Chain A
């Protein structure tokens, strides 16, 4: 029998998908890429619908690959038939486009899929290599809280890690991927989104691969890789057009620049974009 000292190093690779926004082709491409990268576990952090066409096409992929999914604010809204997406915009233009997207998604999501979203958990917790992982949508304390890189202090993230007893917090919701090392080797990662580009003029979308390596006598090593996903975005754009979705949304897919829902962007993130 092998002694503890002889046990081989262990390794897990988590594929973490943020907001899908009905972009099923990007989700399919991301799953393919993660499999090639030897991902061992798959997670989705919520917001399955919005923005894109044919929301029901996302669900079979989540089921086929056993992707454990957190409930996003959009999933809560669509699942429970609420009036809006709970993003809380006040700019009339942002609200106009958000409502078009919401009404379309609500009308096109089947009842079984709505029921499934309604029952999704607000968070997923587990331990791996002795580290406590917490997967949520916006923040551990609020599904629709925006944690932007430039408006979230490290002291605040440390407090969340303390209060919610987590070593690694994984979130999405803002649409932009970023990470921050916290005190005592803890980590916060915004895993990005597959639903639309990262407002950087590129047509790819992003997900996160988190690798954990450990053995009996060293502390676990965490490696975060933000992975660009290239997919047939022109085909997605054509489908959005044929579904009558706004040209503003289509342009984002084709150009990589956000055109709507800009009100909530802080200065630094807004300045990096074109609009």
Chain B
């Protein structure tokens, strides 16, 4: 929920380093219990992006000096134009696709392997699995999704990719090391010899707010908290999201009425109020959406 007060700090867009594409809108073949924008096969709050929209945003992004591009949804591979979009984007810069890994086809991966080899830029796949076994994963992501996602990882490895596995933490901090260790073993079992793992915090909005609990009123960023804080840790200071309904501030807050900022990147450059509970999580963990290779470091 948005809870703007006179004490709510605002964040300016310092530099548009990262451009996201909400390429599958809120449409997904899965209905994960913790999805912060409640994606499902029937949630059409946001729809698919067209190749033309992506092309137009890519051309606009050059003048802004965008450093890298991310594709998310929903499940990006449900969009029939995804493969040509990724091929085209690799001509502009590095690309990361966030997928649940359950719908990958050999034909697509063959084309993407070729595009990746031709490009000077990296094509990263980030596959979401929420634990090293079906017992942890399936109650959240759906029956048999653990096995299906593992097969997706096997396929990605067979095509020469090195996927980054992201897991939303639904266990205690003290279990992290054991979970990572078990995960590495499981991944080696499907041919992923060099596991790359990233733990994500839960974002307690959307479906997750109903599964567990949402944010308390006190879980908001205040002006005092921003005093001395490096605002470049927050995604909204260096990123925007292209959706079929305009450009939004970040991929997490899509359902918030104030998230859509304008029709173009230029229009969406305005500052944003950190009035949401999810902003509090971003403040605590910093750069949760970007890859480790471009994670923004403090200090420096």
Contact = CB atoms under 8 A, between A and B. Distances in A.
A153 B298 contact: no
B297 A265 contact: no
A150 B120 contact: yes
Nearest to B181: A92
Interface string A139-175: 0001111101111111110111010000000000000
Interface residues of B, number: 37
Contacts of B299: 73, 76, 82, 86, 144
Given A144-B300, A155-B62, A275-B194, A266 B93 contact: no
A70 to B, nearest CB: 13
B110 interface: no
Contacts of A138: 300
B105 interface: no
Interface stretch (B5-13, B32-40, B215-223, B286-294): B286-294
A254 interface: no
Nearest to A82: B299
Contacts of A266: 94, 122, 124, 291, 293
A204 B46 CA distance: 53
Interface in A171-185: none
Contacts of A154: 93
Interface residue range, chain A: 35 or more
B297 A150 contact: no
B17 interface: yes
Nearest to A269: B122
Contacts of A269: 122
Interface in B6-43: 15, 17
A156 B66 contact: yes
Contacts of B298: 86, 88
B123 interface: yes
Interface string B103-125: 00000000000001000111110
Contacts, number: 105
Contact of B94 (A76, A150, A262): A150
A154 B62 CA distance: 9
Nearest to A138: B300
Given A150-B122, A151-B94, A268-B122, A145 B297 contact: yes
A153 B196 contact: no
B83 interface: no
Nearest to A158: B65
Given A88-B295, A155-B62, A142 B300 contact: yes
Contacts of A263: 196, 292
Contacts of B15: 159
Contacts of B124: 266-267
Contacts of B65: 153, 155-156, 158-160, 162
Chain A to chain B: the 3 pairs with minimum beta-carbon distance, closest first: A159-B65, A153-B93, A144-B300
Interface of A: 73, 76, 82, 86-88, 90-92, 138, 142-146, 148-156, 158-160, 162, 262-271, 275
